[in-house]
Amino acid sequence: MQSLQEAKREKVKIKKEIKQTPKPIFEPITIFINLTPDVKIIEELYHLAVRCKGQHPLRLYIKSEKLSDVIIESNIRVSKTILDEVRKIGIGELASVS
């Protein structure tokens, strides 16, 4: 047995367990657009992405007839409502999203 003073001096280390929940993986939303010299399409897509924030990563697939196609995987996260907005405006084609 220890005296009360000895027990107060002794420190006990306690480790706290931190539970980490895995982040859900969301399917990317892919939008196909044709390569044009007009910048308005890209600007409209950017403004739509800002308005339709969500959890799905946005992927742009730029098709070109003469040059090679370009796939841009952005860090912008959007919701599925951007699909309806793109359909309304008629900017590009949409890939199937599950």
Using one digit for the tens of pLDDT, what is the confidence trace for 51-70?
989 999 999 888 888 888 88
CA distance 79 to 70: 23
Domain ranges of the chain: 25-94
Distance CA 86, CA 95 (A): 12
Angle subtended at Cα 37 by Cα 28 and Cα 54, rounded to the nearest 5 degrees: 20
State the Cα–Cα distance between residues 80 and 56, nearest whole angstrom. Answer: 8
62: helix, strand or coil: strand
Structure tokens at 87: 């359909």
Taking only the tens place, the pLDDT of each residue in 13-40 is: 777 788 888 878 889 888 888 887 778 8
pTM: 0.64
Residues in Cβ contact with 90 at an 8 Å cutoff, skipping those fewer than 6 apart? none
